[in-house]
Amino acid sequence: MSTGIDAIDVQQVLVDAKTGVPRVRSGIIRRPRLTSLLAASVDLPLVVVSAPAGYGKTTLLVDWLEHDDRTVAWVSLDQADDDAATLMTSITTGVRRVRALDTAISSGLTSPDVSVLGWVVPGLAASIGAVDEPLVVVLDHFDEIRSRDCRDAVGLLLDLLPAQVQLVVSSRREVWLAGGRRRVRGEVIEIGATDLVFDADEVAELLESHGVEPSPERVRRLLEPTEGWPAGLALLADTHRSDAAAAAIGIAPSSPDRAVAEFIRSEVLAGLPPEIDRFLHQTAILDVLSPPLCDAVLESTQSASVLETLMRAGLFITPLDGSGAWFRYHPLFRTVLREEASRFEPDAVREHHLRAARWWAAAGSVDHTIEHARAGGDLTIAADLIVRELARAYNEGRLNEVRRWLDQLGEEMIERNPELAGLVGWLEALTGNAVEAQRWADRIEHLTSEGDSEVESFVSSRAALGAFLCAHG
């Protein structure tokens, strides 16, 4: 199947989006009471901004750093980065965009035998420090990092970075880096949800920026349901661009999430043309959007023009790159769309997920393929892709990533694909898990005795695995 874009182009766009400073909408509310705190932290090794979704963490950091003279390396983390080798690759890629690094770092990261803690992290810190100029390294979405290996790697990197380098972390959860000795020594500045909520003056400025008269009553009626939650305020202000609309806020529900959802449904979705409404609901399954991907999901050729229309209309869609190839919906907007689509057209949603899974499989993205294949109820699409990708990922040292793929598939699905089961057996054997390797070898024999899996290459691989296990006792 043709995807309309080469796999290498897809990966490069995603890498660029991942390691570029995000673009924020024009006319943001500047927050000098917070940016002045950040500006005063330049001599500290660590800055932590932590709060739930929608508190303006990324926007605050972008605004601060746009007015800072230091060089900025930005990395937007995701679940794939919860693997020490993958995480260090992402950080290395982000830093390399703004500063030359020792090429041995990247070369070492592709070796399955490399020691992340013993060689990669010290080498990366030394290479960064070889240039005696200030640098800010931002790790956005740090809540994606949970494994002990990754925590150890980031902790060691922070300890080894030179004084002219500041690490900035943004997270939806409390950040363990900020605790203990660093907090006691005053080596970190922390900004949390209580700092990030809008006060009355900022709400008034927000209303003004949307052409709404910021009377004390309107400010109060926005602050009460949202409790200063920036995302809720922004969405409410977006739907109240006139005095008449602002007056329609009415009695605030007890839940800010419910208030935002109700306004999205009644004030945004209700007035859209049917073709736009249909496009939004059918593509809300996608965490990132591109015209070819949307065309594949919708079996259409009009997605590029619809996305352009959405951008012009300001319908809660954000570009991920400078070329207009990739976008994402505002998370809250997308949540409402997905809930409605699942409630009213569950069968269509499953089919759209399967089309997305096939597109991502053709593009070579295992994580996206697994996500959509599972939601569509057919993980065989993901299993077939992992068969193609497992050996390469292992050879590049991404063992934790491979294991995450297999955990997401589950043993039942692996057993349905004897070729994949054989690869899992080899994986266990090569990583020294003899008991698991033998278990899979026995299972493969049972599987192949039941079905038609006598492809020559598979038979050879199965025999080689058996011989390997015998030779290694």
User: For 178-197, what is each residue's pLDDT tens digit?
Assistant: 777 888 889 999 999 889 99
- Helix H or strand E encompassing 327: strand 327-329
- Helices 148-160 + 121-129 axis angle, to 10: 30
What are the residues whose beta carbons fall under 8 Å from the beta carbon of 122, sequence distance 6 or more?
Answer: 156, 160
- Helices 331-344 + 274-283 axis angle, to 10: 100
pLDDT band of residue 222 (cuts 50, 70, 90) is: confident
β-pairing, 188-191 with 165-171? unpaired
3-state secondary structure of 449: helix
Instruction: Express each pLDDT in 305-335 by its tens digit.
Output: 999 888 877 677 888 876 778 998 887 788 8
| pLDDT value of position 27 | 74
3-state secondary structure of 190: strand
Instruction: Say yes or no to pLDDT of 204 above 80.
Output: yes
Compute the average pLDDT of residues 342-347: 92
pLDDT band of residue 300 (cuts 50, 70, 90) is: very high
Mean pLDDT of the chain: 83
First and final CA of the chain: distance in angstroms? 45
Take residue 1 and report the two structure tokens written for it. 């199947």
DSSP 117-156: IIIIHHHHHHHHHTS-S-EEEEEESGGG--SHHHHHHHHH
Instruction: Say yes or no to pLDDT of 406 above 70.
Output: yes
Instruction: Say yes or no to pLDDT of 74 above 90.
Output: yes
| pLDDT value of position 448 | 57
pTM of full prediction above 0.75: no
Instruction: Express each pLDDT in 36-73 by its tens digit.
Output: 999 999 999 999 999 877 789 999 999 999 999 999 99
How many residues are recorded in the chain? Answer: 473
pLDDT band of residue 460 (cuts 50, 70, 90) is: very low
Compute the average pLDDT of residues 352-364: 94
pLDDT: which is higher, 448 or 155: 155
Tell me which of 164-173, 187-196, 334-343, 387-396 is least confident.
Answer: 387-396
